[in-house]
Structure 1
């Protein structure tokens, strides 16, 4: 193998640039040529592909987002779209591909691998919802963004003696809400993995108010439902002054933490190593601080791990 490509796909995540940098520099270290594919699978179809040099990835390790840009691409879900992408790879002489993204990105990577294009996935998503890895690139940075926001909201919640509902990202996985809730001492954490009883939440808030509790923080993963609707229900049922904050896309941005930069560097480099030794069709990850890899199909077939013990601890500490 003499020439590889790298692309980012799906939602952006802090640390993607660090992963791109690692892929490019690791490849060049091993005398490979590297081509950046811009705008994800859409750019692959369109042939938006440029050769990358050492200087192409200078001064990007600390930047959020992705210098290769990203886009959703419905066309690549079709056989015709996949064939267009393969034709572009052949046109540029690209013999292997590193895909940085989430589960949707890996479905495309799996299709390419099945059609003879050696492909390795690198998990980059703030949701931390990829099986086969303890952490995904971007999760730690997004988590710290949420924690910082909740700390500030708690200040005003204390000052005004209000209940605050804070909606965070997490459509199918509640790790952001769970970790932030535990770290910030939230009274209630609502996540997709657990069917919370709203009546119980209302009773808990009322009990707290009756024993003199002046404010409460409730963190809601977006996959549970609208934070605005939940806040409205709480105010109607408890008569407590309630405010709602939807953090939204602020969670995606910002300079990646040291943990995310190091994780991205390790995973990006490992992806290149796997291509060099012919271990394609894999997703790299980290388990117990060791870099590992699993077949893309296995990763897609499993459900993300849910830490029931951590959730139980959050319940016990929020009494």
Structure 2
């Protein structure tokens, strides 16, 4: 299947000489939720702003559903909805007028039913006649999302959409995102709430210092780079790890009551049975055991640190 969004050789160098993007190559699949992760200053917002026509690239090409964002700008931009980090709305307009006007900017015919549907999905229907200036920060964020969806885009960018919003909005927003994906909309998000990416995304991309350092299926990434920990709670404390267990990288807690075995889940799963057998042979009684998988956040931090 042809990617709905294709980025090739993308570079951005500012007048100061700072190179924000260094030859980005990235393909986004139709209908997926793609999470772009990276530390502050990694180039996430620059990449999104170039794709959405807010910033000009220094080199490279980008196509949105087959339309070049430079030579066929209008057609490409109609395919894209953007929810930026900044709350940029007309403070003196009503919610209804703001969202309806945004639809018109993209040459879409009036569709009150569609605007009503969006406002209800985002719990804005009761606020439709209020001026933007009277809304809370969370409600203003909802309006930004409604504006981005007003022209029925095929590609939706969410640039730190959860920043500074309440738990209720976050829940509403992800329900909308899931519904959009089911309807065929491709969603690309950046977020500091990595647990959201872990829950929502189909694929993960990591950007650092203007370079894409990894693109991977989420499940494969968790399996490939994730670690597991087996924690053994002991009936009686031990002063040292017995010789019978010397072949295993075990950590003993200070009180001697717990042993922790960290292993690669894709390679060493079979070793657990051998470990437990040797623990029993060493005369150690285990009262409880637990396993824990590395989170996406731990994998991300490790990737960035290594890079």
> Same-fold call, TM > 0.5?
no
The bucket for the TM-score relative to the shorter chain is: under 0.3
Per residue, is there more helix in 1 or in 2?
1
**Higher-Rg member (1/2):** 2
TM norm structure 1: 0.25
Q: Tell which has more relative contact order, 1 or 2 (C-alpha 8 A, sep 6+).
A: 1
State the TM-score, normalizing by the size of structure 2: 0.25
Q: Which has the higher strand share?
A: 2
